[in-house]
Amino acid sequence: MHPTDTITAIGTPPGEGGLAVIRISGKEALMIAGRCFRPSRDGVRPDAVASHTVHHGHVVREGEVIDEVLLTVMRAPRTYTCEDTVEIGCHGGVVVTRRVLAAVLAAGARMAGPGEFTRRAFLNGRIDLTQAEAVADLIHARSELAARAATAQLAGHLSRRIEGMRDDLMLVLVHVEAHLDFPDEDIAPETGEALYRRMGVAREGLLGLLRTAGEGRVLRQGLRVAIVGCPNSGKSSLLNRLLGHERAIVTPIAGTTRDTIEESADIRGWPVVFVDTAGLREGVDEVEREGIRRSRQAAERAEVLLHVMDRARPWQAGDATLLEEFTGRRRVLVWNKSDLPGCWEEITGSAECGVQVSCVTGSGMETLKDRIAALAGAGVLTGDAAEVAIGVRHQEALRRAEEALARAMAAMVEGIPLDLVAIEIRMAVEAVGEVVGRTTTEDMLDRIFSTFCLGK
């Protein structure tokens, strides 16, 4: 990638729609737009009009009119990339959109790489690295809470926390290095204690952010919840109820579900990936045995199990086997068919440990959703914490920073020379700086922006 090239890409999802947008960014964006845009009003050229104005006309290529469009001109630096930017709004549709894009490419633009617009926004100082990542999080958000968290990160909530920690650590490093400049003078006890306390405060801040990593991962990827149980216990009916529509086939025939079914849902603001599984028993044929094998794999990969049990039929050996098999897992016992007379309380003595539901009437479903949300992290990730939930990359860098800071604090207690303490503090400063992009490499940026779509 050459940061001085003028780039272009389709900024809207592929397919048919009312509108599509082709984005152009770079120092020649206005000139390139002028080569393929024929204005409806004479004398209106993209490179001559005022910034942040919209103009009607047509996109043309070799004299042929491609489409009627609206062209928006935005001059640097008040643009997404801090570069001259043009957006062409054309009719939606695969063919017409590609033809407009081809006209822009023929006029001199280069096809943008994944995330290259956002990468330029970062390189040009408009946003830091956590805000750049928040753009992708917002686009891919699968729940309202995930979207709010991404919006907060885009607004700089996490950046400010990180920058504050980095500034505090820099002050500690400055003090330690100042004493290194005067090797004949030891740090006064009170000064050493003050530096130690400040490092302790910084370390607690790092640990606080690290504690949000689990919830941050759920917000970005979704909580995997496998629905397991004996055949005909109501697993597929439960999936349909939780989703609010008929996704899985439901019949009275045992073994109807032969393979896993995955579907995402928003549960109390949390993105949840439900996996409906085949009834766990000894398979009667090869197809069902394969489905059961896949179901066990899905259960192993899941973070939470919804263990569905039919409380309206007599207790069976398979119920006891599965109850024991999944002991110790994060699970919710779902006592299904509460609309029918029950006969399990006296047998198991544990009906109160689960949630009584009816997939027919919907009874108990709201309570079950509360339990799922609690397991996802609701009640833990609230308020400011939801605005700074860290991702996997952040977690790795902050963990290195916390470990380096812990070593520095231990070294001070043990009386190890200050130059070694300073090395550990400097490592912590650099690791924290990685989060916001203060210290980055091309490989790191390539990995981050490769996950973006072309038009962003």
Give DSSP secondary structure letters for 241-297. HHHTS--S---SSTT---S-EEEEEEETTEEEEEEE----S--SSHHHHHHHHHHHH
pLDDT at 259: 58
Alpha-carbon distance 405 to 31, whole Å?
A: 52
- Return the pLDDT at 7: 96
Query: What's the confidence (pLDDT) of residue 119?
Result: 93
Share of the chain above pLDDT 70, in %: 85
Query: For residue 450, how many other CB atoms are within 10 A of its CB?
Result: 10
Check: CB of residue 25 under 8 Å from CB of residue 105. no
Helix (H, G, I), strand (E, B) or coil at 310: strand
Name the CA dihedral angle for 420, 425, 429, 435, rounded to a multiple of 10 degrees. Answer: 100
Cα–Cα separations (whole angstroms), residue 152 to 159, 216, 341: 10, 13, 49
What six digits make up the tokens of 53? 């104005």
The fold of the 7-128 domain, in CATH, is Gyrase A; domain 2 (3.30.1360)
AA letter at 453: C
| Residue 391, phi then psi, degrees to nearest 5 | -100, -175
Give every residue of the chain whose pLDDT is below 70, as ranges.
1-3, 182-191, 245-259, 279-291, 342-353, 377-388
Contact 88, 59 (CB under 8 A): yes
pLDDT of 351 reads 46
Model pLDDT, residue 352: 43
Nearest to 456 by CA among 51, 110, 139: 139
| Alpha-helix runs per DSSP H in 302-387 | 317-325, 345-348, 365-376, 384-387
Task: Residues 131-212+389-436: name the CATH superfamily.
Answer: tRNA modification GTPase MnmE domain 2 (1.20.120.430)
Q: What is the pLDDT of residue 111?
A: 96
CB 57 within 8 A of CB 69: yes
Where do the structural domains in the chain lie, given as residue ranges?
A: 7-128, 131-212+389-436, 219-376
Count other Cβ atoms within 10 Å, centred on residue 232. 18
Q: Tell me which fold the domain 219-376 belongs to.
A: Rossmann fold (3.40.50)
Q: Give every CB contact of residue 156 below 8 A, 6+ residues apart in sequence.
A: 128, 131
